[in-house]
Structures are given as C-alpha cells and as structure tokens.
Amino acid sequence: MVSIKDIAKQAGVSISTVSYALNGSDKVTDETSARILQIAKELNYIPNASARNLKKRETKILGVFLTDFRGDVYGDLLHGMKEISNALGYDLVVCSGKQSHKMLPERMIDGAVVLDQAFESEELLQYADLGHKIVVLDRELDHPNINQVLLDNKAGATLAMDYLMENGHRKIHIVTGPEGSYDSIQRMKGVRLTAERAGVEIVEIPGDFLKSGGVQAAERLMREYKEPVAVFCLNDEMAIGLYNRLADSQFRIGEHIHVIGFDNIEVSRYLQPRLATIEYSKQRWGELASQQLVKLISGEEVEHERVYVKLIEGHSVGKAPA
C-alpha cells in the first residue's frame, strides 16, 4: 500500500508538504504541488479513509437504517436521500439489521436516518446523548440531536375515511399495522377522530403491514359477510394481500368489498380494480431527511418536518348500496 510517506520519499519532500499538496492547500508552490501530484498519480496513490476519518473525526458518510431491504416504499425514498446527500457533499450507505447499528456510535458514519421500528428509541436516545445526529422517520423523539421528518398520517387517514364516507359507507373495517408501529398508531388516531365526528362505526381487524395481514382480513370478511363492507387497510401491502385472497372467491372488490389503502406503492396502480389509496412523495421524504440530517450535523437549529399526503381515487371503492 502506497502512502503519503512513499510519495514524500520519492519527491524528496516531507510528508506534510505532500499532505498539503494533496489537499490543494496554497501553502505550497504550484511547482512542487504539481510534482507531488504527478508522483502520486504514478504511484497509484489512494488515500486511506480510516486514517483520514480517524484524524478528522468525520467520514462525510450518511447512513440510513431500514428494517428490511424488501419493501416497496424504499426505492424513491433512498433515491431522494442519495441525491440530496451527494449534493451536500455526503455519501450515502444503506444498512439493515441490528448488527449495523454500531456504525453510528463507532463513527463510521456522520449521522443516521432511521426508518426501522426495530431500532429502539432507547438506543437512539443514548446515541443522541453521545452527540450523534439522527433523523427519525418512524417515531417522535424529543432530543436536540434528533430531528423528525414524519408523514402526515392523521391527515391521510382522514382523507381515506372521508372518501369512504362520501361513497356512502357508514361502517368501516380498519386493518391495522403491527403493534407498536408508529404509522399504524397515528393513522388509527386519524381514523377514530374522523369516525367519531361523523358518527360512523369502525371495526378493527389486527394486521401486520404485510400481505399476510390482508389475507387474514379477507378471510374474516368473507366469513362474516352479510352485506357490502368498506375496508381501510392501513397500508397498500395488506390491501394487496386482501386482493390476492379474494381473487378466486365470488367477492368482487369495489362491489362487495370496498377497499382503500395507504402508501400508493407501485403495484397498487396495476391492481384490478385500481386501488384507492393515500399518496405522498417518497422521494421528497428522502430529500427532506437528508437535508435535515446535514443541517443537524453542521450544527444548525432545525424544526421538525412534515410530509404531506393526498388521496388517490380508485374503483376499489364504489358507492354503498342505498
């Protein structure tokens, strides 16, 4: 491995001069600088990140932590994060799993964006106490080193409920997310608020944010079927499970079972009939996250951010029978 020491030897200068030259400092003659750069190139010199990071106490890398690499929400989100990170001079690495958590406290990265319920708040707070900068996308956490960029879940839930009610549905089944999921809890709050205000009945069906939850919900709905029902799946993936399970039954979506989801993932637009759902810009969400994290790192005061949502209509919701 060739280091600045080798370059120094070859160029007949000291290592500090080499370092200056390599970092484009003007403390060194253009002439020597050119010679050094030339030699560096000849020797195929490549700096060692660990050494630099150790000395500078920063890596210029941002990390994002996901529960799982599978999952349709991530593509655009990560893309948005990457674009902004790069624009602001940072690299982005995506990680998943408990093993990788230590990259933050061990200073392999300068900050973290968290979208992973399995990353415990206690752990996050502990890191924040140690001075590490964090942006959370899936919980509320009050700490000067932590910023929130959250979906407007309540508004989304309200939009969904309103859409069902506009179509005449007065009893609405809700397929929830897994216990403890922030998104699920928030969406439920929106649901309850809207339902109470409108005097509409809601029936909770416990779900898991996975297709399996939708399948189970479908089975229960078929078992208990008496008349057309309305269902708000708290995410699209469960709605897809529900579609799948209903596919070879005599029940028709948008006719016997009216469904709306949340997330507007890509598959949703290809479902027959098209799934009504709640949309938000995943890319913008990612962009905001990166932006906030960099601000946090540079010591700026930052307010929490919010990502807005809107309704996507679809024939998965039809008029309730009069």
Which residues of the shown chain bind a second copy in the complex (CB under 8 A)?
44, 46-51, 53-54, 59, 61, 63, 68-72, 74-76, 78-79, 82, 86, 91-97, 99-100, 102-103, 105-108, 130, 240, 266-267, 270-272
* Binding flag, residue 52, DNA (CB under 7 A): yes
- Which one among 38, 41, 42, 47 touches DNA, defined by CB under 7 A? 47
Question: Which of 137, 127, 125, 136 has its CA nearest to residue 104?
Answer: 127
Q: Give least dist CB 286 to a second copy, A.
A: 9
> What is the rounded CA–CA span in Å between residue 92 and residue 112?
10
Residue type present at position 268: S
95: tokens are 């990680």
Q: Give least dist CB 209 to a second copy, A.
A: 15
Q: Give least dist CB 284 to DNA, A.
A: 35
How many Å is the Cα radius of gyration of the chain? 26
For a second copy, the closer of residues 82 and 154 by Cβ is: 82
Q: Give least dist CB 95 to DNA, A.
A: 21
When CB distances are held under 5 to 8 angstroms depending on the partner's kind, the choice from a second copy, DNA, none that residue 44 binds is a second copy
Contact assessment for residue 88 and residue 291, using Cβ atoms and an 8 Å cutoff: yes
When CB distances are held under 5 to 8 angstroms depending on the partner's kind, the choice from DNA, a second copy, none that residue 17 binds is DNA
* Binding flag, residue 1, DNA (CB under 7 A): yes
* Binding flag, residue 15, DNA (CB under 7 A): yes
Q: For residues 64-85, b (16+ Cβ closer than 10 Å) or e, as one string? A: bbbbeeeebbbebbbebbbebb
* Binding flag, residue 13, DNA (CB under 7 A): yes
When CB distances are held under 5 to 8 angstroms depending on the partner's kind, the choice from a second copy, DNA, none that residue 168 binds is none
256: tokens are 């016997």
Q: Is 311 helix (H, G, I), strand (E, B) or coil?
A: strand
- Which one among 34, 38, 42, 48 touches DNA, defined by CB under 7 A? 48
Q: Give least dist CB 91 to a second copy, A.
A: 5
* Binding flag, residue 61, DNA (CB under 7 A): no
Q: Give least dist CB 254 to a second copy, A.
A: 15
* Binding flag, residue 45, DNA (CB under 7 A): yes
> What is the rounded CA–CA span in Å between residue 10 and residue 164?
76
* Binding flag, residue 34, DNA (CB under 7 A): no
Q: Is 149 helix (H, G, I), strand (E, B) or coil?
A: strand
> What is the rounded CA–CA span in Å between residue 108 and residue 94?
13
- Which one among 34, 41, 51, 310 touches DNA, defined by CB under 7 A? 51
When CB distances are held under 5 to 8 angstroms depending on the partner's kind, the choice from DNA, a second copy, none that residue 15 binds is DNA
Which helix (DSSP H) or strand (DSSP E) does residue 113 occupy? strand 111-115
Q: Where are the alpha helices (DSSP H) in the chain?
A: 4-11, 15-22, 30-42, 49-56, 74-87, 121-129, 153-166, 182-198, 211-223, 236-246, 282-297
Look up tokens 């990140």; give the residue. Answer: 49
For a second copy, the closer of residues 39 and 157 by Cβ is: 39
Please count the other Cβ atoms lying within 10 Å of the Cβ belonging to residue 165. Answer: 17
Please count the other Cβ atoms lying within 10 Å of the Cβ belonging to residue 8. Answer: 19
Which helix (DSSP H) or strand (DSSP E) does residue 282 occupy? helix 282-297
Q: Which residues bind DNA (CB under 7 A)?
A: 1, 3-5, 12-17, 19-20, 22-23, 26-29, 31-33, 45-48, 51-52, 54-57
